């Protein structure tokens, strides 16, 4: 009975999209750490992509609303340790990002260097050239940097959250 309820909540959460990357679910981004039933309250553990990410509140609300469709008592618990890392993004999800014109993060240390302002090479998600140029460290949202490809001249976003 309990297992069944948690499974239904989980499958509903699989349909909650990330507001910053609307072609990916929060599950695909590895942000859900666990779902448990505690005193008849469904407790969903959420690890945001980074502390202070402006999308966190929107994600919390979306998860709350989605889970409430299944169970009336829902609590979203923020889990900050261990911190979310781009390592939790699966290869399948990375290729989905590339297909949608967002250069996926390559690794935690690389992204940290980037956030510290070091120059880095981000290959174009369309033509794969390394000849790209950083246009703005902030793209359409705070979690993305905006690049332009110097080969195919297409602009693209790079997901840089750590």
> Tokens for 60?
């919390």
* Distance of closest approach, residue 124 Cβ to Zn ion, in angstroms: 3
Q: Which is nearer to Zn ion, 15 or 133 (CB)?
A: 133
Measured CA to CA, the distance from residue 79 to residue 161 in angstroms comes to 17
In angstroms, what CA-CA distances link 48 with 1, 41, 70, 81, 107? Answer: 30, 21, 23, 10, 17
* Distance of closest approach, residue 40 Cβ to Zn ion, in angstroms: 53
- Least Cα distance to 12 among 61, 56, 68, 58 occurs for 68
Q: Which is nearer to Zn ion, 48 or 104 (CB)?
A: 104
Q: Which is nearer to Zn ion, 83 or 127 (CB)?
A: 127
121, 112 Cβ separation under 8 angstroms: no
* Distance of closest approach, residue 120 Cβ to Zn ion, in angstroms: 17
* Distance of closest approach, residue 148 Cβ to Zn ion, in angstroms: 9
Q: Which is nearer to Zn ion, 33 or 126 (CB)?
A: 126
Q: Beta strands 74-78 and 41-46: pairing type? A: parallel
Q: Which is nearer to Zn ion, 74 or 124 (CB)?
A: 124
SS3 92: helix
* Distance of closest approach, residue 151 Cβ to Zn ion, in angstroms: 5
Chain residues binding Zn ion by CB under 5 A are 124, 126-127, 149, 151-152
């Amino acid at each position: 009975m309990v297992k069944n309820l948690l499974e239904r909540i989980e499958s509903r959460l699989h349909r909650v999209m990330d507001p910053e990357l609307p072609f990916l679910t929060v599950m695909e981004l590895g942000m859900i750490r666990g779902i448990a039933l505690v005193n008849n309250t469904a407790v969903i553990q959420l690890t945001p992509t980074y502390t202070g990410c402006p999308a966190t509140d929107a994600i919390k609300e979306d998860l709350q609303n989605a889970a409430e469709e299944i169970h009336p008592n829902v609590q979203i618990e923020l889990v900050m340790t261990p911190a979310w890392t781009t390592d939790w993004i699966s290869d399948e999800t990375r290729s989905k990002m590339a297909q949608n014109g967002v250069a996926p993060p390559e690794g935690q240390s690389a992204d940290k260097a980037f956030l510290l302002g070091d120059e880095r090479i981000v290959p174009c998600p369309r033509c794969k050239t390394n000849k790209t140029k950083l246009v703005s460290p902030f793209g359409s949202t705070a979690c993305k940097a905006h690049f332009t490809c110097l080969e195919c001249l297409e602009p693209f976003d790079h997901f840089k959250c750590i």
